[in-house]
A and B are shown apart, each in its own frame.
Chain A
């Protein structure tokens, strides 16, 4: 039996089969909220090695071991690449509340199952949101190149990630970037014959074909997300922060133009095209909007944000882009500066504290002159201004201290999760502070009307009335069976661009995955 005897720690080396107990690890702190449970930083007691433990929530699960966890395990056991997070093992816990001795047979797994991952110091969003931090162009190229390399490997192995976004891109202090959270990933067939759900990918990073209801799609969906992240890195903030599906689509059309015979011949074949087709034709404005980007960056972005998935560049094409082969070249990951650990989950918490301070300050009518927003990189190549944190810049004390503690004054526009009203001042709910509570992660905004569905999951059209001023984004009308598991533990990203997969992923339990 791989489980430790009662009262004893199981510190043996990896057994040839079966799984060790989570007691082999000492939990240090929570660092994230995964798709179906919390993520902890932990230390392996016998080796002192720092790992990340991702808990798979089992209670309330009517259908046993969650299929999302099954997918993730299947996929992670198969992928083996430098730019993909490594699943080291799976451990179980017997649950503290139970009498250990009576636990041998019965409910010994009720306590939980943890996936053990290598520990990574940052996620891209957490890192980018560090006050005062500014990525350099070679640094962005370096991250982008690794992101595309990892994604190319996934796609070559016929895996779609389906939730590419900053908080799922982990970065260690060696500058290495790894794709993580394969909770929404799945295998795809080359013929795209599969009947896949279109309810994937965090809204802000979701491609137009999914928003238009496509159920046959391929790797191109991930490349759209890459385009959004790329632009976000260069632009300094998310480029398509839609509040709900219709608005998301609208924002996309405003930026990329409305679909027509040349830019997306098959658009009219998508299931919901007639519901969503723009009333007026719009011009593509990518090059105009981002004219401050350098030529090669713009060229790459333009191809990644192609409306037509067939015209969108593949990961391989993107890696061949001039952008990566012209000065300044992507830097060596190892040359990147080391930062104090930062995860979106933590920066979010810090921002929350800052918000509270700010609210307090407001009440006291104290003005805070300093405003912090994420800084875009310096676009001009070559000359580095004096405040440029170059690739070889050592970790600066000021940076480290700035990020910790709520005492400093970098408030201002929190580029917080859309789950919070303060992101949308027009809602007139300024005082709410954004609310990272689970409730707010589940569904979408209850905003704009949503036309009746021709097909697909019955997510109720126009939003439900939002009860009270509380957490907005009460389930945006996704009426699903009460498999509440995922609903409660929506993607970590629920934070940024709500991840609608919350409840409705389970809604589709068993079909259209």
Chain B
């Protein structure tokens, strides 16, 4: 993937955090709080990641799928767009957009096989139908820029591209998709924040390197703080089962499927 982030639809679509943190009125009626909202999205990001391991697609596809999912919920309610269907459908759509097509029946097969909860079971036709609704919800903007691309370049430039640092920062970037950062910040700044955190954790002095970059360090530090807060709140290492249980409890408020 190519071209320029600054001229992209992705850039033009960046939102403020306040815009992202709005629970749709229809969901609010059902008693969904902002905490529930975030939790469900995080759980769905995990779910997408899990499905991706079954159908074997790259992390990039996961990242794009999670971004679609998060974009959908800036505009649509969870009552109308069941997250348990939106999540696999976003993965399905992202796999096409990222040129690693996964067949719908394969996705359905793995959901049936691997997910014991009946509320997650959907058929091929459900996915195909939801795909159309998602395309419309995201207004056919399919191109997503991710921090991964800048990451390797930046690490190389900072001479931090040893395996240890690369893996650590890569992991932190993966974790950022459990938040809405990708809707709010340009990807290279997210990458820098992850490098910043990793270098602090590993005691690498990157002060002068960061100073030479022409970026607003305040933004980078703010993003870093958000990431660190997130880790703090969720007791790193993140316990997916706990999140899953809590998210499912929140989802039950929506009373979507019998």
| B96 & A70 in contact (Cβ 8 Å cutoff) | yes
Is B209's CB within 8 Å of the partner chain A? no
Asked if A64 contacts B127 (CB within 8 A), the reply is yes
Could you give, for residues 86-111 of chain A, a 1 whenever the CB lies within 8 Å of some chain B CB and a 0 otherwise? 00001010000000000000111100
Best-buried of A63, A77, A107, A511 by chain B (most CB within 10 Å): A63
The 8 Å CB contact of B75, one of A17, A62, A63, A78, is A17
Number of residue pairs A-B, CB distance < 8 angstroms: 74
Q: Is B157 an interface residue (CB 8 A)?
A: no
Contact mask for chain A residues 58-84; partner B; CB cutoff 8 A; 1 contact, 0 none: 000011110100100110011010000
Partner of B3, one of A18, A63, A65, A78: A78
B161 at the interface (CB under 8 A from A): no
Interface residues on A, range: 20 to 34
CB distance from B68 to the nearest CB of A (A): 12
Which of B114-122, B134-142, B177-185 lies at the interface? Answer: B134-142
Structural contact, B142 and A70, CB atoms closer than 8 A: yes
Q: Are B132 and A109 in contact (CB under 8 A)?
A: yes
Total chain B interface residues with beta-carbon distance under 8 A: 31
Shortest Cβ distance from B13 into A: residue: A17
Given contacts A18-B136, A107-B129, contact A67 B9 (CB under 8 A): no
Bound-complex Cα distance A73 to B140 (A): 7
* Contact across chains for A17 and B128 when beta carbons are under 8 A apart: no
A70 with B97: CB separation less than 8 A? yes
B192 sits at the interface (CB 8 A): no
* A19 touching B2, Cβ below 8 Å: no
Beta-carbon nearest neighbor of B75 in chain A: A17
Q: Is A510 an interface residue (CB 8 A)?
A: yes
| Shortest Cβ gap from A68 to chain B (Å) | 10
Bound-state Cα–Cα, A513 to B98, Å: 11
Alpha-carbon gap, A489 to B234, bound state (A): 52
CA distance A513 to B100 in the complex (A): 9
Contact A64:B92 (CB < 8 A) given known A18-B139, A78-B3, A159-B2: yes
Binding site secondary structure of chain A: loop
Cα separation A17 to B141 with both chains bound (whole Å): 10
Decide if A17 touches B137 in the complex (CB within 8 Å).
yes
A residues in contact with B102, CB < 8 Å: 510
The reply to whether A65 and B129 form a contact with Cβ atoms under 8 Å apart is: no
Does B136 contact A63, Cβ atoms closer than 8 Å? no
**B143 and A64 form a contact (CB under 8 A):** no
Collect the chain B residues with CB atoms within 8 Å of residue A511's CB: 101
* B101/A186 in contact, CB under 8 A: no
Flag if A18 contacts B127 (CB, 8 Å): no
Query: In the bound complex, what is the Cα–Cα distance between A18 and B136 (angstroms)?
Result: 5
How far apart are the CA atoms of A446 and B194 in the complex, in Å? 58
A509 at the interface (CB under 8 A from B): yes
Give min CB distance, A342 to chain B, whole Å: 31
Given A63-B128, A77-B141, A92-B136, 10 other A-B contacts at CB below 8 A? A17-B75, A18-B136, A65-B93, A65-B96, A73-B142, A77-B9, A77-B140, A109-B136, A187-B2, A510-B101
14 A-B pairs within 8 Å (CB atoms) are namely A18-B137, A19-B136, A19-B139, A63-B101, A64-B127, A64-B132, A65-B131, A65-B135, A74-B97, A77-B142, A80-B7, A158-B1, A159-B2, A187-B1
Write the residues of chain B forming the contact surface with A, with a CB cutoff of 8 angstroms: 1-3, 7-9, 75, 92-93, 96-97, 99-104, 127-129, 131-133, 135-137, 139-143
